[in-house]
Amino acid sequence: MTALNIVLNAGSSSLKFQVFDAGVEPGTPLCRGLFEGLAGDGTAHFVARDGRGETVGEERWQAAGGGHDEALRRLIAWLRDRFAGASLAGVGHRVVHGGPDFEGPVLVDPGVVDDLERFVALAPLHQPHNLRPIRFALEALPGVRQVASFDTAFHRTQPELAQLFAIPRAMTEQGVRRYGFHGLSYEYIASVMGEYDPALAKGRVVVAHLGNGASACALRGGVSVASTMGFSALDGLMMGTRCGSLDPAVVFYMLREMKLTPDAAEKMLYSQCGLLGVSGLSNDMRTLRAKEAGEPHAREAIALYVYRIVREVGSLAAALGGLDGLIFTAGIGENDAATRAAVLDGLAFLGLRADPDANAAGGPRITGGPGPSAWVIPTNEELVVARHMRALIGNAA
Ligand code: ADP
């Protein structure tokens, strides 16, 4: 009898999932899918595709609050129908924040969920959505083992200095430190980059994860030594709607002069800044590319996006003491050749020499000649969670 491992990746209004055969080393999922429109009262949408990309399920319904729980009920019913006769071995969850203590994936029990609640204050826009499906599954699927995989855990290898802010020691001891995020993506890239070039696995590499959220990570020998995201997923690079690094005095200005409440200021920095804020048009790179010729603010937003990447990669290269490889990944990194070209141009001083044809073709190698190399490598965070599940719970149903 087939045993299934389900991997869940819950956002504020969406829920992504992949289903794997728990009996084999995770590779192509049996199916993957997405629920959207879960936050409001509008139409929610579910679509599932099989391993070859064929649509194998689709539903629409009127969401009336409780969107994620309803999505999970529908998912379980749909899976029971599609994989009749299969058993459920486990459910794995991407969880943004594991705090200072979780250095790797864990088997979940109610005590672990209580521990993870403590980090809601550190990731208020992500953590509650990540924890909800865990609580739901603990109740709805008693006896089914659950695994939590953290975006922060991969960075716990960083030297102490890379994790410290220059603040009073008592605050550091309270947990105000640099955690770093997108760790599941970096763990995936670190696990496959040696297949592209063995030198990357041993060398000094910066990975730029450029999706809606964006960050970059310095790897030495495949191990995280520094990253652009810090205490929260707000720090570092400019993102779709998040500001990235900001003088902290801007927050005092927002509170005192603009009379924003802390909640309103937080919301603005998470959801009204970045590409959206600077362009005034969109957080979506595809839309900005379509408009850049006629819209100076779209052009400036993209130029600032590239400038921030160039500066941060330079900083990470300094932390590494040099650069052997640069890897682009996630939605923009994998698909937007113009962003990659502009970043390589800005980093030519490090010896990166773009190969325009290879870049336009999407790589994988997009530089030529001697010196450091640059690559496009698609990420796969869900696969990393599936690997964690197999390591922690094996294939027992
Ligand atoms: P998330 O962080 O939500 O997983 P993704 O990794 O899917 O985000 O990245 C979303 C970003 O990728 C959006 O800005 C989107 O415009 C951009 N993107 C996706 N496909 C393309 C493309 N073909 N060309 C340019 N940008 C793209």
What's the pLDDT score for residue 326?
A: 98
Question: What is the Cα–Cα distance from 47 to 32, expressed in whole angstroms?
Answer: 9
118 within ligand 1 shell (Cβ under 6 A): no
What pLDDT, in 10s, does the model give residues 336-386? 999 999 999 999 999 999 999 999 999 999 999 899 999 999 999 999 999
The structure tokens 């770093």 sit at 180
Atom of ligand 1 nearest to the CA of 213: 2
Tell me which H or E stretch contains 313: helix 296-320
Q: Which residues pair with 354 in a beta bridge?
A: 367
Give the number of the atom of ligand 1 that is nearest the alpha carbon of residue 212: 2
Q: Confirm if 343 and 146 have CB atoms less than 8 A apart.
A: no
Q: How far is the CA of 323 from the centre of ligand 1 (A)?
A: 26
332 lines ligand 1 (CB under 6 A): yes
Q: Using alpha carbons, select from 139, 148, 116, 126 the residue that is nearest to residue 11.
A: 126
Atom 3 (ligand 1): residue with closest C-alpha? 212
Annotated ligand binding at 5? The verdict is: no
Taking phi over 0 as left and psi of -120 to 50 as alpha, with beta for the rest, 379 belongs to beta
Domains of the chain, CATH where assigned: 3-150 (3.30.420.40), 198-381 (3.30.420.40)
Catalytic residue, chosen from 21, 151, 235, 336, is: 151
Query: What tokens appear for 44 in the block?
Result: 């929610």
Beta-ladder partners of 50 = 31
Instruction: Give per-10-residue mean pLDDT for the chain (397 aa).
Output: 92 90 92 89 90 93 80 93 92 93 91 92 87 92 94 96 98 94 97 97 98 96 97 95 97 98 95 97 97 97 98 98 98 98 98 98 96 97 96 72
Lookup: tokens for 197:
């070039």
Active site residue 357: no
DSSP string, 338-373: HHHHHHHHHTGGGT--B-HHHHHTT-SB-B-SSS-E
CA distance linking residue 24 with residue 20, whole number of Å: 8
Task: Confirm whether residue 333 is marked as ligand binding.
Answer: yes
Helices 337-346 and 296-320: crossing angle in degrees, nearest 10, is 50
Which residues partner with 32 through β-bridges?
18, 49
Q: Is 330 in the pocket of ligand 1 (CB under 6 A)?
A: yes
Going by alpha carbons, the residue nearest to atom 27 of ligand 1 is: 332
Q: How many whole angstroms from 224 Cα to the centroid of ligand 1? A: 24
Which of 285, 379, 382 to probe ligand 1 with, by most ligand atoms within 8 A of CB?
285
Q: What is the pLDDT of residue 395?
A: 55
Q: Which atom of ligand 1 is nearest to the CA of 330?
A: 6
Binding residue per annotation — 195? no
Most distant pair of Cα atoms in the chain: their distance: 64
> Looking at this protein, which amino acid is placed at residue 396?
A
pLDDT tens per residue, range 191-210: 999 999 999 999 999 999 99
For ligand 1, say whether the CB of 212 is within 6 Å of any of its atoms: yes
Is the distance from the beta carbon of residue 284 to the nearest atom of ligand 1 less than 6 Å? yes
Listed in sequence order, the DSSP H helices in 91-197 are 110-117, 127-140, 160-163, 169-173, 183-196
Identify which of 12, 210, 335, 379 to mutate to test ligand 1's pocket (most ligand atoms within 8 A of the CB). Answer: 335
CA separation for the pair 127, 124 (Å, rounded):
6
The best mutation among 286, 289, 292, 376 to test binding of ligand 1, ranked by most ligand atoms within 8 Å of the C-beta, falls on 286
And the tokens for 190? Answer: 């670190």
pLDDT at 234: 94
For position 276, what pLDDT does the model report? Answer: 97
Angle at 165 between CA 164 and CA 169, to 5 degrees: 80
Long-range contacts: 78-87, Cβ < 8 Å, 24+? Answer: 78/46, 78/48, 79/4, 79/6, 79/19, 82/31, 82/48, 82/56, 82/57, 83/2, 83/4, 83/19, 83/30, 85/1, 85/2, 86/1, 86/2, 86/3, 86/4, 87/1, 87/2, 87/3, 87/4, 87/397
Q: 20: closest CA among 33, 36, 4, 32? A: 4
Rg (C-alpha) for the chain, rounded Å, is 21
211 close to ligand 1 (CB < 6 Angstrom): yes
Closest ligand 1 atom to Cα of 379: 6
β-strand partners of 59 = 46
Side-chain half-sphere exposure of 383, counting CA atoms within 13 A: 16
